[in-house]
Amino acid sequence: MRKPLIGLTTYLADARWGEWELPAVLLPAAYTSCLRAAGGRAVLLPPDAPEAAADVVENLDAIILTSGEDLDPALYGAKPHTCTGPPVPERDRWEQAVLAAGLARDMPVLGVCRGMQLMNVHAGGTLVQHLPEKVGHHGHNPYGGHFAPHPVTTVPGTRLGALLPGTSRVATHHHQAVDSLGAGLMVSARAADGTIEAIESTRHRFAVGVQWHPEVAFEPAVVHALVAAARPGGEAVSAAGQEPRTARRSSGVVMPTPGRMTHNLETR
């Protein structure tokens, strides 16, 4: 059987490797490693003209909207906070078009960190631009350039609740979060401080966003669920949530505590 073809959005950044220092399209290798371990085939989707999105998405079985830079606050009608990073409009426009094309086809979609925030903004929601000001601590982003363990609790009765019942430790690194929820979305996990840690669509077969990083986490079952949903006739979530957990234990994807993601390109 052909393995599902999963499109992953990418960074567009200045980078350095070997003797070169050039603009580059890049993505941390943990994304593709985790996806292969889950039984999928990775296809990178660098920023392109938004009108090309429908044609590109037509050839895929699922989409992962990856992590990265802060979204432009203008997308949700806000002025930039002093801690909000500079926008990358090429990436914002492209990924909105990719998401719209995927949802129009009811294609399985997973949003990771920035990707979850994009899903919410696309649905008309807003973001908290600097989370420490709201929650009073830096527990969601305690180490610069590192991921840290962080407990989240899923909501019973949701797709994610079936996949990861109760409280799980995940990999966190974010200073923004969902504020007002977009139309057609529901909360499926929260942190102890009330921060929304996962959302999912009530209108689509499998459209899930997680604020954490399953590609390097202790619990990448959500990636296995995406790949399962991308297969012909695939179910979005197993009935009791047990199969993805079994797959997780055999995937070989492990995150140090705290874990630094390294790759051959040094972004600047």
Where in the sequence numbering do the catalytic residues fall?
Answer: 113, 213, 215
Q: SS3 for 153?
A: strand
The angle at the Cα of 36, spanning 34 to 42, to the nearest 5 degrees, equals 100
CA distance 235 to 95: 25
CA distance 80 to 82: 6
Burial of residue 18 (number of CB atoms within 10 Å: 0-12, 13-18, 19+): exposed
Q: What is the DSSP string of 39-92?
A: T-EEEEE----GGGHHHHHTT-SEEEE---SPPPGGGGT-PPPTTSPPP-HHHH
CA distance 70 to 176: 8
Crossing angle for the helix pair 221-230 and 29-37, to the nearest 10 degrees? 60
Q: Cα dist. 252→44, 217, 249, 262, 267 in Å?
A: 22, 11, 7, 17, 27
Phi/psi for 247 (5° steps) reads -60, -35
Q: Are 71 and 93 in contact (CB under 8 A)?
A: no
